[in-house]
Amino acid sequence: MGRLSGRLDDVTGDAGYDDHPPRMGFFTDTSVCIGCKACEVACKEWNSVPDDGYLLTGMSYDNTESLGASTWRHVAFIEKPTAPTSSSDVTVDLGMPGNGPPAAGQDQTTESGADGMRWLMSSDVCKHCTHAACLDVCPTGSLFRTEFGTVVVQEDICNGCGYCVPACPYGVIDLREDDGRAFKCTLCYDRLKEGQTPACAQACPTESIQFGELSELRQRADNRLAELRDNGVDVARLYGRDPEDGVGGDGAFFLLLDEPEVYGLPPDPVVTTHDLGSIWKSVGAGAGAVAALGVAAFVGRHR
Amino acid sequence: MSPREEVVPEFEFESYYGRPILKQPTWKTPDIPLYFFLGGLAGASAVLAEGAAATGLPGLERIARLAAAGGATAGTVALVHDLGRPERFLNMLRVLRPTSPLSVGTFILAPFGTLSGIAAASHLTGRLPRIGRLAGVGAAALGPPLATYTAGLIANTAVPAWHEGHRELPFVFGGSGAAAAGGLAMVFTPLNQAAPARRTALAGAAIELAATETMQRRMGFVGEPYRQGRSGRLMKVAQATTAAAAAATLLLGSRSRAVSVLAGAASVAGSVFTRFGVFEAGMASAGDPKYTVVPQRRRLDSREPTTA
């Protein structure tokens, strides 16, 4: 049994691998996401993820809604008025249609927002947590840590107990209703084994989704954040990068341009097993109370 | 209904189109809340049965043995039925994982079911009395953790109304289990053997009510689903039923057989309502982003008072 919370630098070694490749992950830089959904399509195609219904949500360009058993990449679209919210006048022109012509020669971080609105787009994915609650609560051992430090469901073992679903602090994993088993992003475990890039990162036309060794991605993210801050984009922040955070850092982390909750992400998730000691202690104390009560009930008269 | 002094302000928070952040549990109703009830009933009944056997109360022992074995059997059926792939239920026994109360619980329920079954069969048929009694002792040892591990199971999730109640929930469930076991025994046991059942029901009710109250006070805003909406109504009905059953038991339970039957039945019903109330509170808690965002945002803001 590995560590359950806090900083953990070698999660793969902690899971029992003696000799293993470096931890691999995603860095999703939402400041260059154009909302093309190529990642969603590539993921569905490569992993043969079934259709999960077609409906018009009215949520901007997002008809995918959220991550789930049959959606392993989800592109969020947020339309926000510029004027009152941001402490900076700088917004990111993402070149979306219907917002006036993009001026020639502008880069991603130039000023726009002439129509008083800004777009936020972000491709969400399973975070492949350092301390993965889904994995730690799985009673069958179906969920496991791969040699790449990622978290994967073994479909031939999962019996659909559903414990992983409410355990995930990000609301990622879910049961497929007609199938009964739990599914989520595998970080393209099959492709990783062949030394290939996961389908979503391969398909991303703007390198918003970057795949690589986690240590290198963190370095890259720090540089990108510094660059954006230098350009005055002070709303930029990294999410899930900190190995000291509530889940010990994410294997898939993000650069965001607003608060996490705006994107549907929890602002400060803490893995449930952080409190496991206290939980077991209370269960034991409660059981002790029931036993004591049982003994006390037979002391004295029995009529 | 007078307005309270402290008015809870509406919290401002941002979300993605008001969508929940967490996934709602896929556990089905009535399977899972029913199992919580049956596990509590069976676990506490096994303790009652052993006490009755040790003190020579055959009428009490009989119903308690049957409740322990029957509750465990019916509960197991409910659990297997809830699985997405019921034919793979044996995969639960592949590993024993201390980080998963569901895994640990499987290794409590499986031997408990076997032992309580042997004890009940031996008691009914009169065969192999020593082995039956030994099995009964084993079931009584596993009974209390069987009654409380389910609270640890739901507490070990990201669902705020469950997780934040992890200190009190095992007492709510344990007390509720004892109230059910005592109540059921009161219904079927003649008055002159029912005193331990009444005490079990009373003490269980007291623990359950006190723990529920403490939990709600401590949780504050996150505990809202225990007070509001469908889950809030279920909890209120549960508390009223349990309290009424306890009052009747205390006043007339030892004198009137009719009151003993009615109060016992009410005690069982209160336990059922409690499990459904707690279950629904978790569902409501997971289904509304405010219970996830607001406490986390507060925690963040208190850590770094100024944000860029």
pLDDT tens-digit readout, A18-61: 999 999 999 999 999 999 999 999 999 999 999 988 889 999 99
**B141 CB-contact burial (10 Å; exposed 0-12 / middle 13-18 / buried 19+):** middle
In a domain, B8, yes or no: no
Element (H, E) at B204: helix B195-219
Predicted complex ipTM exceeds 0.90 = yes
pTM greater than the 0.80 cutoff: yes
pLDDT in the model for residue A50: 96
- CATH (domain of B127): 1.20.1630.10
Are B108 and B148 in contact, with CB atoms under 8 Å apart? no
Q: How close is the nearest chain B Cα to the Cα of A87, in Å?
A: 8
| Cβ–Cβ contact A248 with B under 8 A | no
In a domain, B294, yes or no: no
Structural domains in chain B (count): 1
- Cβ contact B163–A76 (<8 Å): no
- Cβ contact B286–A166 (<8 Å): yes
Q: Considering Cα of B240, then B32, then B18, then A261, what sign does the dihedral take?
A: positive
The residue among A151 and A100 whose pLDDT is bigger is A151
Chain A residues lying within 8 Å of B43, measured CB to CB: 290
pLDDT in tens, A216-229: 999 999 999 999 99
- Residue B172: closest CA among B205, B219, B221, B142: B205
Q: Least CB-CB distance to A293: which of B103, B154, B178?
A: B178
- Cβ contact A287–B147 (<8 Å): yes
Beta bridge partners of A62: A59
In a domain, B10, yes or no: no
pLDDT in the model for residue A85: 39
- Cβ contact B178–A294 (<8 Å): yes
Chain A residues lying within 8 Å of B210, measured CB to CB: none
pLDDT in tens, A156-204: 999 999 999 999 999 999 999 999 999 999 999 999 999 999 999 999 9
Are A282 and B173 in contact, with CB atoms under 8 Å apart? no
In a domain, B16, yes or no: no
Min mean pLDDT across A73-82, A264-273, B268-277 is at A73-82
In a domain, B264, yes or no: yes
pLDDT in the model for residue A257: 96
- Cβ contact B26–A261 (<8 Å): no
pLDDT in the model for residue A215: 98
Residue of B nearest to A235 (CA): B308
pLDDT in the model for residue A94: 58
- Residue B61: closest CA among B162, B151, B160, B129: B129
- Residue B165: closest CA among B56, B282, B66: B282
Mean pLDDT of chain A: 91
- Residue B48: closest CA among B206, B184, B176: B184
Per the structure, the complete domain to which residue B259 belongs is given by: 31-288
Q: Give me the residues of A, 116-175, that contact B with CB < 8 A.
A: 133, 136-142, 157-163, 165-175
- State how far the Cα of B266 lies from the Cα of A48, in Å rounded to an integer: 53
pLDDT in the model for residue A92: 56
| Cβ–Cβ contact A263 with B under 8 A | yes
In a domain, B189, yes or no: yes
Phi, psi of B89 (to 5 degrees): -60, -25
Are B176 and B200 in contact, with CB atoms under 8 Å apart? no
Interface mutation target, options A268, A283, A295, A298, chain B, most CBs of B under 10 Å:
A283
- State how far the Cα of A21 lies from the Cα of A147, in Å rounded to an integer: 7
| Cβ–Cβ contact A277 with B under 8 A | no
| pLDDT of A2 strictly over 90 | no
Stretches where chain B sits below pLDDT 70 are 1-10, 305-308
pLDDT in the model for residue B9: 58
In a domain, B307, yes or no: no
pLDDT in the model for residue A117: 81
- Residue A165: closest CA among B26, B166, B161: B26
pLDDT in the model for residue A300: 76
Name the CA radius of gyration of chain A, rounded.
Answer: 22
Residue of B nearest to A247 (CA): B158
Give the mean pLDDT of A266-294.
98
pLDDT in the model for residue B12: 85
| Cβ–Cβ contact A56 with B under 8 A | no
Are B145 and A287 in contact, with CB atoms under 8 Å apart? yes
In a domain, B3, yes or no: no
| Cβ–Cβ contact A210 with B under 8 A | no
- Cβ contact A68–B23 (<8 Å): yes
Among residues of chain A, what percentage have pLDDT more than 70? 87
Chain B residues lying within 8 Å of A137, measured CB to CB: 97, 99-102, 156-157
Min mean pLDDT across A111-120, A156-165, A206-215, A249-258 is at A111-120
The number of helix segments (H) and strand segments (E) in chain A equals: 8, 10
Q: Least CB-CB distance to A285: which of B82, B147, B170?
A: B170
Q: Considering Cα of A18, then A23, then A24, then A26, what sign does the dihedral take?
A: positive
pLDDT in the model for residue B10: 65
Interface mutation target, options A55, A290, A295, A299, chain B, most CBs of B under 10 Å:
A290
Q: Least CB-CB distance to B22: which of A78, A171, A280?
A: A171
| pLDDT of A110 strictly over 70 | no
